[in-house]
Structure 1
Amino acid sequence: MPEGHTLHRLARLHQRRYAGAPVRVSSPQGRFATEAARLDGATFVRAEAHGKHLFHDYGPLGVVHVHLGLYGAFTESPLPETEPVGQVRMRLSGRTQWTDLRGPTRCELLTEPEVDAITARLGPDPLRRDARPELAWQRISRSRTSIAAQLMDQKVLSGVGNVYRAEVLFRHGVPPMLAGRDLDETVWKAMWDDLVALMRAGVRSGRIDTVADEHLPEVTGRAPRQDRHGGEVYVYRRAGQPCLVCAAPVAHTELAGRHLYWCPACQPA
């Protein structure tokens, strides 16, 4: 599932390409046809993201809410348009570009109060300037639930997924099974600031990089990471491989149905 930086990157792209002008909206697949007909020819007001949710605002006509889920994806192409390929839920076409959306978990036209109800359920997003990290700390510091589980709970913190979860815990030497209430507040504030910096870098580059300069392949002589997710990371999807800092084998388990990676030596219980 795409992490928050991907949705913010898409919001910036769609804002740049479509905002402030009329757009053509269609649903070649048909599952969004009624809503698309209502929006077709309307002005695209703005695009924004909150956590893993993307919102296309059409003013009084409503807001298109997209959650990509596990299989959803946008494809971006320059005009002229071509015939749809596959099950295109929504096609958006502007002055110079067109965008297809396939396979989302959610693609729905909502009112502003309905959008507010979604965002009210979400924790603070490190990529939003209106984020209030103290709200996440209130929940974390009162809970016996592991910090690893809480970082993935979108009601606690929105936009953070499996990669950022594993990497920020490693970077701050926090054992993943530590109860939230046992986490030091100073460490939490450092983790939050780190997530802000890492995720902003991810918006700019389109990939997740968490490795410090001194541990990069060109410095250490190791082979670059080969993974479809891209980016240089410390522990994510590196089970059994040597830690880039201490050479101990990276550990792996499952937590709440998701893969969890950490270094037992750098993140001692």
Structure 2
Amino acid sequence: MPEGHTLHRLAGELTRAFGGRTVAVSSPQGRFADAAALLDGERLVDAQAWGKHLFVEFAGERFVHIHLGLIGGMDVRTDVDPDVGVPPPVGQVRLRIATTDGPDGPDGPDGGALALADLRGAITCALVTAEQRAATLARSGPDPIRADADPDRAWHRIRRSNRTIGALLMDQGVLAGVGNVYRAEVLFRNRLHPLRPGTTLRVGQWQAIWSDLVVLMAEGVVSGRIDTVRPEHTPEAMGRPPRRDDHGGEVYVYRRTGLPCLVCGRQVSTAVLEGRNLFWCSRCQPVFRSRAVG
């Protein structure tokens, strides 16, 4: 499932391509046809992400709520030749957004190129009101990428929970946008075992986790990939081959089961927690031992 940085990056692409412009909206697949008809020919205001939720705003405080789920994706193009026209949809396109003329006209720097966005495979694609959007956000935890996020909202839940920190970081009602990669990596970087109960964390440890996520996830928005290793552990610094994985990016433990830890050399461990794989180094992330006296 795409993590939060992917949605924020997509929101930026949509805003740059369509923000402030009148657009054509359709549903080639047909499952969004009624709502698309209400938005066709209207002005698209912008797009914003909150965790793994994407909201595309149209005039009149109407929002298309999108959640990509496991297999969803949205392709954005800004180079469609107006002489050729918008190409026919490929595959099961739930939602199509397109411009009818270039932002600067045929004599502008883009030559009048058209913009096009096709949504496929999303688990959610619904036209919602501002009140419905607010209700969705109220159920979501703070998003480390957003400047208006309040990390204390997540901390108040974590410090009272006996659930593991590995589970809490993946709970979108606690913290929005963090997926399996960022979960594994931020815990490694902060030397915390994923099965440590939330109630045992100190506030300074939570603040370090939050600060780390703010930086790492913002970098992911810019680069479009997840890189979590520090400069001294890059392939160039260590003289090792770069990681080859369909998720991309340089990581410490995620999907490195049985391989040597980049810091201490011990084999990376794995287990399943609430249906998702955990990855950690048992030396760098030792099991928590309470100092409380019984």
For 1:63 and 1:100, the matched residues in 2 are separated by 17
1:101 aligns with 2:119: yes
Q: Residue 60 of structure 1 corresponds to which residue in structure 2?
A: 60
1:260 aligns with 2:265: no
For 1:115 and 1:187, the matched residues in 2 are separated by 32
For 1:143 and 1:76, the matched residues in 2 are separated by 41
| Contact map agreement 2:61 2:130 (CA 8 A) in 1 | no
Q: Which of 67, 75, 82 is the aligned partner of 2:87?
A: 82
Q: Residue 154 of structure 2 corresponds to which residue in structure 1?
A: 136
| Contact map agreement 2:14 2:76 (CA 8 A) in 1 | no
For 2:266 and 2:95, the matched residues in 1 are separated by 47
1:228-243 equivalences under 5 Å are: 228-243=246-261
Q: Secondary structure at the match of 2:56?
A: strand
In the TM superposition, residue 59 of structure 1 has moved relative to its aligned partner by 2.7
In the TM superposition, residue 76 of structure 1 has moved relative to its aligned partner by 2.1
Q: Secondary structure at the match of 1:247?
A: coil
Query: 1:168-222 CA distances to partner (integer Å, 9 max, x unpaired)?
Result: 0000000111000101110110110000000000000000000011111111111
1:2-151 equivalences under 5 Å are: 2-60=2-60, 62-77=62-77, 78-79=79-80, 80-94=85-99, 95=102, 96-151=114-169
Q: Which of 171, 191, 195 is the aligned partner of 1:153?
A: 171
TM-score, normalised via structure 1 length: 0.99
Query: 1:37-96 CA distances to partner (integer Å, 9 max, x unpaired)?
Result: 110010001110000000001131610000000010011222231111110000111232
Query: 1:222-256 CA distances to partner (integer Å, 9 max, x unpaired)?
Result: 11000000000000000000000000000001100
Q: Secondary structure at the match of 2:12?
A: helix
Letter in 2 for 1:248: R
For 2:63 and 2:137, the matched residues in 1 are separated by 13
Letter in 2 for 1:219: A
For 1:217 and 1:110, the matched residues in 2 are separated by 46
For 1:61 and 1:76, the matched residues in 2 are separated by 23
| Contact map agreement 2:272 2:278 (CA 8 A) in 1 | yes
TM-score, normalised via structure 2 length: 0.90
For 1:60 and 1:97, the matched residues in 2 are separated by 22
For 1:123 and 1:86, the matched residues in 2 are separated by 34
Q: Which of 225, 243, 265 is the aligned partner of 1:207?
A: 225
Deviation beyond 2 Å, 4+ runs, structure 1: none
Q: Which of 239, 246, 257 is the aligned partner of 1:221?
A: 239
| Contact map agreement 1:39 1:61 (CA 8 A) in 2 | no
- Does 139-148 or 89-98 show the bigger shift? 89-98
Q: Secondary structure at the match of 1:60?
A: coil
For 1:61 and 1:4, the matched residues in 2 are separated by 24
For 2:75 and 2:10, the matched residues in 1 are separated by 10
For 1:45 and 1:75, the matched residues in 2 are separated by 19
Letter in 2 for 1:22: T
In the TM superposition, residue 146 of structure 1 has moved relative to its aligned partner by 0.3
For 1:11 and 1:172, the matched residues in 2 are separated by 30
Equivalenced residues, count: 269
Max radius of gyration: which structure?
A: 2
For 2:75 and 2:45, the matched residues in 1 are separated by 21
Is there any run of 5+ residues in structure 2 with no aligned partner, and where?
Answer: 103-113, 288-294
Give the CA RMSD over aligned residues: 0.8
Q: Secondary structure at the match of 1:83?
A: coil
Identity %: 56
- Does 88-97 or 122-131 show the bigger shift? 88-97
Q: Secondary structure at the match of 1:126?
A: coil
Q: Secondary structure at the match of 1:163?
A: helix
